[in-house]
Structure 1
Amino acid sequence: MANPAPPRIFSRRRRTAGLRRARVRQAHRNAARYILDDMVEDVLDRLEFVRMNPQRVLVIGDWTGTLALSLRGAGAQVEEEDVATLDEESPIVGAPYDLVVSLASLDRVNDLPGALLHIRNALAEGGMMIASFLGAGSLPNLRRAMLAAEPDRPAARMHPLVDNQAAAALLQRALFKRQVVDSRTLTVSFGSLDRLVSDLRDQGLGSALASAPPPLGKAALERAETAFRKTANTKGRVLESFEILTLTGWND
């Protein structure tokens, strides 16, 4: 009996549209990009630590181009893809790669186990995957604000996210022989809920849910802002958390 298709939680069309909008917004001098900047720096640190000098690399999701530029400077042949050019739920062409890096992308695919298996199949023997995305500990203040906005019948507005334990199980399911899962928290200060939402859109991290809920009305937005500001510090700033989950697996 064939395996049932995974539930359709995310829309690839909406993800692509969000990426295109983010690239337009990045033309503004003050556009946020701290999530990808942090992920790129972390990947470079990891490669230096394991003393890996890959020859063929596939980078998925880094629309800044920074990681590819650094790897090419070290002599690697790098291919760059994103949601607009690569369907992560399908086999990856161009393999094998010594290294596949996916940034801020795998948390918005419908078939995450399948996507991880496709990446493993694209690795050369001894090749390594590094995948970073937002984990389950992310955006607690925004989640509370969205629940407060619609206290009676809250619509699904926030993405379901993966935690460390589930990530480890996913790597095992994808048949990685060795795997490591770790996380870190990036804390960012915001003066308003609008600023947080703007930062998410700048970085292509807005909603990509397949069933888009209707926009919040004026009263709901006011309730959300009030709930968001309840956690403000003495300077009127809200400290929001982004948990960055990193999955590392080897095809040994």
Structure 2
Amino acid sequence: MSQPIPLTDLAALRLHRRRAQSAPALFLHEAVRDEVQDRLAMITKTFKAPAIVTPFPQVWRDSWPEARILDDGEVLDLDEGAHDLVVHCLALHWANDPVGQLIQCRRALMPDGLCLTLAFGGQTLHELRSVLGQAEIEVTGGLSPRVAPMGEIRDLGGLLQRAGLALPVADSMPLRVSYGSALGLMQDLRAMAENNALSARLRKPTRRAVLLRAAELYAATYGDADGRIPATFDIIVLTGWAPDASQPKPLRPGSAAARLADALGTRETPLSD
């Protein structure tokens, strides 16, 4: 039986990342790093053995000199139970096995260790995806795979439980960026190594007519009075903890010591059969 084709062409992804290193666009990764620091500042716990999974280690190196920083290979270079914090940063959408990535992060945690995953959500670049699809249909009469699947917040939150993480929480951190044109946005995406690395992509450059038509549609549909266009980056923050006996647990059904009606100061009305 033939093996299924992986979603991501990892060789192409590595090539894009090597090219991006010469002049990378790092503002999203820097924003996410700052968000991680803000969230950890609100936790009454000191993390002494952090690990960070990222395609751009230079973003984290100066502010996290004590951290183990590694790339997001299919097998993460993490020792079991070695870390009290694992941060997985803006790489989950390229993983051929996203649940496997989170399972590896969970296994690397000490009991009651924290896993923070920041991933692109389903509304990311919805403007660009829409106009590129329309432009390609108009110019070529067809539609090719261009964008890695990015889950909605409910779907991504469910990955935490599948990975065996406790106390799962998922919330969003939307960012909107302004560009002079859609072509400027596309240049930045290449500098982020976020250009097309799907295994099913067309293996030839996108026709210039498609890109120019997409830029026209973008400006006409989303442009403001100054001629600038917005780009949405929907960043989902997933928080989960390695299970530990010290963590709070839900009470057993029927174990309440007081009636809810008494707490609310209201009268309880029995339901009819």
How high is the TM-score relative to the length of structure 1?
0.87
| Displacement after TM superposition at 1:161 (Å) | 0.6
**Does structure 1 conserve the Cα–Cα contact (< 8 Å) formed by 2:70 and 2:77?**
no
Aligned partner of residue 115 in structure 2, secondary structure: strand
Structure-2 residue corresponding to 1:191: 180
Letter of the 2:119 counterpart: F
| Displacement after TM superposition at 1:218 (Å) | 2.9
**Which of residues 210, 215, 218 is equivalent to 2:205?**
215
Structure 1: distance between partners of 2:229 and 2:76: 42
Structure 2: distance between partners of 1:138 and 1:216: 21
Structure-2 residue corresponding to 1:29: none
How high is the TM-score relative to the length of structure 2?
0.81
1:53 aligns with 2:46: yes
Structure-1 residue corresponding to 2:254: none
| Displacement after TM superposition at 1:44 (Å) | 0.3
Structure-1 residue corresponding to 2:237: 246
1:179 aligns with 2:143: no
Structure 1: runs of 5 or more not aligned:
27-31
How many residue pairs align between the two structures?
236
**Does structure 2 conserve the Cα–Cα contact (< 8 Å) formed by 1:164 and 1:183?**
yes
Distance change >3 Å, CA 110–CA 220, structure 1 → 2 = same
Structure-1 residue corresponding to 2:63: 70
**Which of residues 159, 165, 178 is equivalent to 2:148?**
159
Write the deviation string for residues 95-115 of structure 1: whole angstroms up to 9, x where unpaired. 321111111111110111111
Write the deviation string for residues 150-192 of structure 1: whole angstroms up to 9, x where unpaired. 2131111112111101011111111111111111211111111
Aligned partner of residue 184 in structure 1, secondary structure: strand
| Displacement after TM superposition at 1:243 (Å) | 0.5
Distance change >3 Å, CA 5–CA 113, structure 1 → 2 = farther
**Does structure 1 conserve the Cα–Cα contact (< 8 Å) formed by 2:176 and 2:230?**
yes
Distance change >3 Å, CA 93–CA 221, structure 1 → 2 = closer
Aligned partner of residue 128 in structure 1, secondary structure: strand
Structure 2: runs of 5 or more not aligned:
244-273
**Does structure 2 conserve the Cα–Cα contact (< 8 Å) formed by 1:129 and 1:249?**
yes
Structure-1 residue corresponding to 2:257: none
Structure-2 residue corresponding to 1:124: 110
Distance change >3 Å, CA 123–CA 7, structure 1 → 2 = farther
Aligned partner of residue 209 in structure 1, secondary structure: coil
**Which of residues 168, 177, 194 is equivalent to 1:205?**
194
| Displacement after TM superposition at 1:247 (Å) | 0.8
**Does structure 1 conserve the Cα–Cα contact (< 8 Å) formed by 2:5 and 2:199?**
no
What's the C-alpha RMSD, in Å, of the aligned pairs? 1.9
Q: In terms of Rg, which structure is larger?
A: 2
Write the deviation string for residues 15-37 of structure 1: whole angstroms up to 9, x where unpaired. 211211111123xxxxx321101
Structure 2: distance between partners of 1:90 and 1:5: 19
1:138 aligns with 2:105: no
- Runs of 4+ in structure 1 deviating by more than 3 angstroms, as ranges, are 4-7
Higher relative contact order (CA 8 A, sep 6+): 1
**Does structure 2 conserve the Cα–Cα contact (< 8 Å) formed by 1:92 and 1:119?**
no
Structure 1: distance between partners of 2:79 and 2:3: 26
Structure 1: distance between partners of 2:7 and 2:13: 12
1:224 aligns with 2:222: no
Letter of the 1:130 counterpart: L
**Does structure 2 conserve the Cα–Cα contact (< 8 Å) formed by 1:92 and 1:122?**
no
Aligned-residue identity in percent: 28
